[in-house]
Amino acid sequence: MKTPIAALAAALLLAGCATTTSPTGRTQYVGAVSQAQLNQMGLEAFADTKAKMRASPDAKQQAYVRCIVTDIVRELPPNWQQLNWESVVFVDDNPNAFALPGGKVGVHTGILNVAKDQDQLAAVIAHEIGHVYANHHDERVTRQIGAQGALGVVGALAGSRYGEGAQQATSQLGGAAAQGLFLLPGTRVQETEADVVGQDLMAKAGFDPRAAVGLWQNMIAASGGSRPPQWLSTHPDPQSRISELQTRAASLVPVYEQAQAAGKRPRCG
């Protein structure tokens, strides 16, 4: 009984939100918060990160990342370019990077050891900017609010029929179910979409889209092959990801070559 009720409750909650189309044509539920609120959340999160993490003192590293961010952002629609884009390289051995609403990009020094050249690093940065451009943060917030609201409905129904203990148990178990069956699968869809959007952006900016393949091969080598099961992961299976990146790269080589012919020849590092 609980699963159909949860699905219905989530559907009713999401029905009150807006729908939009992602850059790849996928229908998204968004609008739980306004874009201004989302940007403010991004600015606050970035300020918090800067307060807690040490920025790299290496001016060349900062300029290297800033150059790539600038070239990638130049390929976004004008309204996205108008954001106050900012990038910071943080001292952290974890090979990671992120982008936040409001135009904030963070890169860990650890990823600089995995991305061997500017094209591979552009694949990382374009992927993260792709999340912002595709409204993934808005979508994720809307999904989470919908899931939490649905669990409240299910818990109330269970409590009215079976008592307070059942309501608490439903909320606890339901939270795990929502995480595993509702939130995480959506995140994997977003990761794949960010790959698509990011690879397209980097090719248009004059970065070689084939470098995304080498990047993920390096990522697998750096991780030692250790990863959680795909169904509990927020990222697609690495080997499947590489195969898809290879296929897209072949179709994007003409885009990359056209960009290079038009004078888009990044010289970031």
Can you give the pLDDT of all 269 residues of the chain as single tens digits? 344 444 444 444 554 568 888 898 998 888 877 889 888 988 998 999 999 999 999 999 999 999 999 999 999 999 999 999 999 999 999 999 999 999 999 999 999 999 999 999 999 999 999 999 999 888 887 777 766 554 444 344 333 333 444 344 444 444 444 444 334 545 788 889 999 999 999 999 999 999 999 999 998 888 776 565 544 456 667 788 899 999 999 999 999 999 999 999 999 98
Catalytic residue among 128, 139, 191, 193: 128
- Supply φ then ψ for residue 88, to 5 degrees: -140, 135
Q: Which has the closest alpha carbon to 99: 68, 131, 56, 70?
A: 131
Q: Please tell me the predicted confidence (pLDDT) of residue 19.
A: 84
Identify the three-state secondary structure at position 80: helix
Looking at residue 30, what is its pLDDT? 83
User: Whole-angstrom Cα distance, residue 181 to residue 169?
Assistant: 18
128 is annotated as an active-site residue? yes
**pTM of the complete model beyond 0.85:** no
225: left (phi over 0), alpha (psi -120 to 50) or beta: left
pLDDT at 17: 66
| Chain mean position to CA 35 | 17
Three-state DSSP class for 126? helix
> Phi/psi at 55 (nearest 5 deg)?
-75, 145
